[in-house]
Amino acid sequence: MDSPVIKEIKVKSVLSKSNLPVCEYSVNPYVGCTHGCKYCYASFMKRFTGHTEPWGTFLDIKVWPEIKNPQKYAGKELFIGSVTDPYLPQEEQCGRTRALLEQLQGSGAKLSIATKSDLILRDLDLIKTFPDARVSWSINTLDEAFKNDMDNAVSIERRLAAMEAFYRAGIRTTCFVSPIFPGITDIEAIIQRVKEQCNLIWLENLNLRGSYKAVIMEYIQKNHPWLLTLYQEIYNSGNRSYWEMLDIKLKAYADEIGLEYATNDDSIRRPFDAPPVIVNYFYHEQIKKSARKDGDKHA
């Protein structure tokens, strides 16, 4: 992959009021992304950026005035990384996410951070000072070869090791099984791998739209041709029976291994050392529309 186009941009604030169902403020210290995920639903954000480069090949580093009154966010839910991973490799040098955490420290803000990286380990002690902090890692396969086909982020093993380190440090962790690729993602194997080192297991189905639909369909045709008919039924004909059957199967599996299974609700509060809850979060249209509104605010 060629070097990404990187520049600094000045913004009035790094925090935006959000319509997402999981937070009150959407926080993205960067615009664009360098993970280059082939399935990235956030790629539609490109049209708000003024960039002509393909999504995944540019990164804008946000520079904002220091947050003067962080206490105004006390008790508020802040989602860091709603569109762009806050721990991209460039964060190691730029430190914008670190700067954000330092400015918010002691504010009483409730943080949710989403990442595919283990660079977040650098900030573990800082994140631990926030009340009820939650960190999620995207893990939709245990197959490193498939992962490498799909993104340029760190290995699955490095993500799992970071998740375990946070969990052992007493910080609530989420395994975000997303996106689930029909016939490819072994959800049961992932659950078995993470159930002793996370508090929540989110399940989200692959949703194909826009320019990346053709990319994924071509990948399936070339690398998993025996699945092409299934993908055509789901993504060309709109047949949801695969997801309905998967929901039934996973609920039965959860019962079998003694884990709670819920739908579209991650608000369940349990003791930290309780077994994780598996949450089926198949509601992409709501995320898509809310993220688009957030994008309008960032424009």
| pLDDT at residue 169 is higher than 70 | yes
Give this prediction's pTM.
0.90
| pLDDT tens sequence across 273-282 | 999 999 998 7
Task: Decide if pLDDT at 79 tops 50.
Answer: yes
Give pLDDT, residue 111: 96
Tell whether the torsion through CA atoms of 141, 144, 149 and 151 is positive or negative.
Answer: positive
* 52 pLDDT above the threshold of 70: no
Two tokens, residue 142: 């245990």
> Which has the closest alpha carbon to 123: 102, 94, 93, 154?
102
* Residue entry with tokens 């369940």: 268
Per-residue pLDDT, 58: 82
Query: Span 258-272, mean pLDDT?
Result: 83
In angstroms, the CA 77 to CA 97 distance is 17
Q: Is residue 283 scored above 80 in pLDDT?
A: no
pLDDT in tens, 144-165: 999 999 999 999 999 999 999 9
* Residue 82 pLDDT exceeds 90: no
The token duo for 20 is 């997402």
Q: What is the mean pLDDT of the chain?
A: 89
Average the pLDDT over 56-80 and give the result.
91
pLDDT value, residue 292: 44
Q: Which pLDDT score is estimated for 291?
A: 42
Least confident among 25-29, 52-56, 71-75, 175-179: 52-56
* Among the listed residues 92, 94, 141, 93, the one whose alpha carbon sits nearest the alpha carbon of residue 120: 92
Please say if the pLDDT value at position 199 is more than 70. Answer: yes
Give the chain's end-to-end CA distance (angstroms, integer).
Answer: 27
Q: From CA 138, how far away is CA 117, in angstroms rounded?
A: 9
**Once rounded to an integer, what is the mean pLDDT over residues 123-142?**
96
Task: Please provide the size of the chain in residues.
Answer: 299
With H, G, I as helix, E, B as strand and everything else as coil, classify residue 258. Answer: coil
| Contact in structure between 81 and 50 (CB atoms under 8 Å) | no
pLDDT band at 297 (very low <50, low <70, confident <90, very high): very low
pLDDT at 4 over 60: yes
**Residue bearing the bigger pLDDT, 116 or 131:** 116
Cβ of 154: how many Cβ atoms within 10 Å?
20
Banded pLDDT at 245 (limits 50, 70, 90): very high
Helix/strand/coil for 249: helix
pLDDT score recorded for residue 205: 93
Is the pLDDT score of 232 beyond 90?
A: yes
